[in-house]
Amino acid sequence: MALDERRYAAELPNPSAWKPPELNDLSRILALSDGVFAFAMTLLVLNLTGLSFLDCGTATLPCSESVLVSGLSSNVDTFIGYGLVFFVVALWWTTHHRIFRFIERYDSLLVWLNIFLLICIGATPFALEVFNKFSGVSVGIVVLASVTGVTGLLLAGIWWHALGPAGLVNPAFPERDRRAARLRSIIHPFVFLATIPIAFVAPAIAPYLWLIAFPAGLAMRRYGPA
């Protein structure tokens, strides 16, 4: 029992009859999480509105067809990066949703793991902006790969903790599915983090290796529930 709960219990007429509340209401955790995911996805879209060719309409840069075609063609990498990262964030959200279908209660560690996960989700639009500006630079690729990889590790940490001794998942959850879920949870972060050393040797190739994460994740879906 936490210190403030003990103090509260001591002030009751019959302290021995007081019991701490059950930690099985996950609604606030899920509401906050959904809000941060939605906000991050919105910021990803807003990154596109800052493209320089959209500032046309001046005497030096009229809004012509050639300006539009040139702007779109010169920002192909930006659009690819946006689509990839938006899809990754959507993947994290769906995985988060599936994991919490099996979690029945929470503890302090789960709450903090989820908070750190949301910190990384909130930082994803910044990491994408860095990648768009410095896509040909190793460090720019490393920033996005690191944020994405750490996000995946935190999501895996939530799953591993819930399936572990903390007992946040129903005890009837099959052991075979527990092992499969643990394995599946580290596939995506492993792919992103593994490209970090490659980014310093071949920065032009490293971002395309991130695409491996998606078929790898789909291939593993047959082995577990999340």
CA atoms within 13 A on the CB side of 65: 0
CA distance 112 to 166: 14
pLDDT for position 67:
67
100, 30 Cβ separation under 8 angstroms:
yes
CA distance 194 to 102: 29
**Residue boundaries of the structural domains of the chain:** 26-223
Of 113, 134, 95, the closest CA to residue 213 belongs to: 95
Q: Which residues pair with 144 in a beta bridge?
A: none
Q: Which residues pair with 169 in a beta bridge?
A: 103
| Helix and strand counts by DSSP (H, E) for the chain | 10, 0
Question: What 3-state DSSP class applies to 169?
Answer: strand
Dihedral sign for Cα atoms in the order 38, 41, 43, 48: negative
CA distance 193 to 17: 51
Per-residue pLDDT of the chain (226 residues; tens, 9 = 90+): 444 555 545 555 555 554 555 677 888 999 999 999 999 998 888 777 766 666 676 767 677 777 677 777 777 777 877 888 888 899 899 989 989 989 988 899 999 999 999 999 999 989 988 888 887 788 888 999 999 999 999 999 999 999 988 889 988 888 888 888 888 888 889 989 999 999 998 888 888 888 887 776 666 665 555 5
Query: Per the structure block, which two tokens stand in for 110?
Result: 């789960």
